[in-house]
Amino acid sequence: MLKQLRAFIGSDGALRPGRGLVSGVIAFTLAILCFLGVMAFHFPEYLTTPELRRQYDVALMRQILFGALVVAGALSLVNVLFNRARWLSAAAFAVVTLSTLLGGHKVEVDPNFPDGTPYIGLDWFILDLLGSALIFIFIEKLFALRKDQPIFRPEWQTELNHFIVNHMVIGFMLLATNLLVHNIFGWVPTEGVRGWIAQLPFWAALPLIILVADLMQYWTHRAYHEVPLLWRLHAVHHSTEHMDWMAGSRQHILETLITRTLVLGPIFLLGFSKEVIDAYIIVVGFQAVFNHANVSVRLGPLRYLIVTPNFHHWHHSQDQEALDKNYAAHYAFLDHLFGTAVNSPRVWPERYGVLGGYVPKGFLRQLAFPFTWKG
């Protein structure tokens, strides 16, 4: 069973219906997430994000965990009984059983656990992976650009590894970003500006914060392409040859740290309110995933104003007319303003990836790539 499971996880391609693979994958994925959820209940001080744990409705979380355990257990048990992908479903049922034996949704949480401990963002990983998968896989199936591209397309494992690491180290990222923001931008005088921004109504502050962030992001992004040393970091992100909702996760952790610092720094220092910053984080989180997604969306004339999947797919293209173009993350008009917008008679690019294909495949090799001098 373990041998078959390893081989399956290392493979790619479409799942053939009628063999229990689709339901087996759902059961196994839910089972793993349930197990991680149980671990988060056992060790909240080390496995959950402080900013999130203060907002949880614990009773609701228990109900969601219980429901997921029931669904995963039922799907896997049915498949085992009817001999449909029994090896996969048996593994899922084993994980569900282990989670239940460890307390399942009934794990007691001591409300007095310490709050200042070092932690990894296991809860953030679970919520974001589950939420993103449910939303964007549905959108991709409904509005698919490349209809023959399966969910488990080539190199999906690399994207998942990047996704896991960049979510798990959220505690380090927040701490490091906070220190860098204050050290890099702390000298900037913003007293008068902060007062003006603080008085802006929400409807005015939100597009402004997005503009400030996107201006910083535009020039940071452009530097990644034009400065050879920075390009070696950013080339990891561009090495994906298949665009979908997971493609944006392929990003070197150092690039993530640098970009977040340079983009979030001015936002915090300018004094935008918490509700405006929270709304911006939702916007950037959605667009970061959506604009890489395998969806055929252009928005008509609005595409000259707002970044769409069509706009950002061109940025990832190997096509000559698209190299070092379309840098904006939110407002497409910035590239038109600065002369870096793609101008092509074709609607969509043909191929994605780094021209020359010199970035190695595999998560660990890509982590090491910026510090090697081959390619």
Q: What is the pLDDT of residues 88-99, one digit of tens each?
A: 999 999 999 999
Structural contact between residues 297 and 139, judged by C-beta atoms closer than 8 angstroms:
no
Instruction: Using the Cα atoms of residue 169, residue 172, residue 175 and residue 180 in order, give the sign of their dihedral.
Output: negative
Residue written as token pair 């460890």:
102
Q: Which residues of the chain have pLDDT under 50?
A: none
Rounded Cα gap, residues 369 and 247, in angstroms: 18
User: According to the model, what pLDDT value does residue 156 have?
Assistant: 96
Predicted model pTM: 0.90
Contact 271, 198 (CB under 8 A): yes
Question: For 271, how many CA atoms within 13 A lie in the half-sphere containing its CB?
Answer: 13
Q: pLDDT at position 142, please?
A: 94
CB 174 within 8 A of CB 328: no
> For 211, phi and psi rounded to 5 degrees?
-65, -45
pLDDT at 184: 72
pLDDT for position 199: 87
What pLDDT does residue 221 have? 98
What pLDDT does 368 receive? 96
Kindly report the three-state secondary structure assignment for every residue of the chain. CHHHHHHHHCCCCCCCCCCCHHHHHHHHHHHHHHHHHHHHHHCHHHHCCHHHHCCCCHHHHHHHHHHHHHHHHHHHHHHHHCCCCHHHHHHHHHHHHHHHHCCHHHCCCCCCCCCCCCCCCHHHHHHHHHHHHHHHHHHHHHCECCCCCCCCCCCHHHHHHHHHHHHHCHHHHHHHHHHHHHHHHCCCCCHHHHHHHHCCCHHHHHHHHHHHHHHHHHHHHHHHHHCHHHHHHHHHHHCCCCCCCCHHHCCCHHHHHHHHHHHHHHHHHCCCCHHHHHHHHHHHHHHHHHCCCCECCCCHHHHHCECCHHHHHHHCECCHHHCCCCCCCCECHHHHHHCCCCCCCCCCCCCECCCCCCCCCCHHHHHHHHHCCCC
Are 247 and 160 within 8 A, CB to CB? no
* 186 CB-contact burial (10 Å; exposed 0-12 / middle 13-18 / buried 19+): exposed
Domain residue ranges of the chain, discontinuous segments joined by +: 2-119, 168-371
Q: What gap in Å lies between CA 76 and CA 232, rounded to an integer?
A: 44
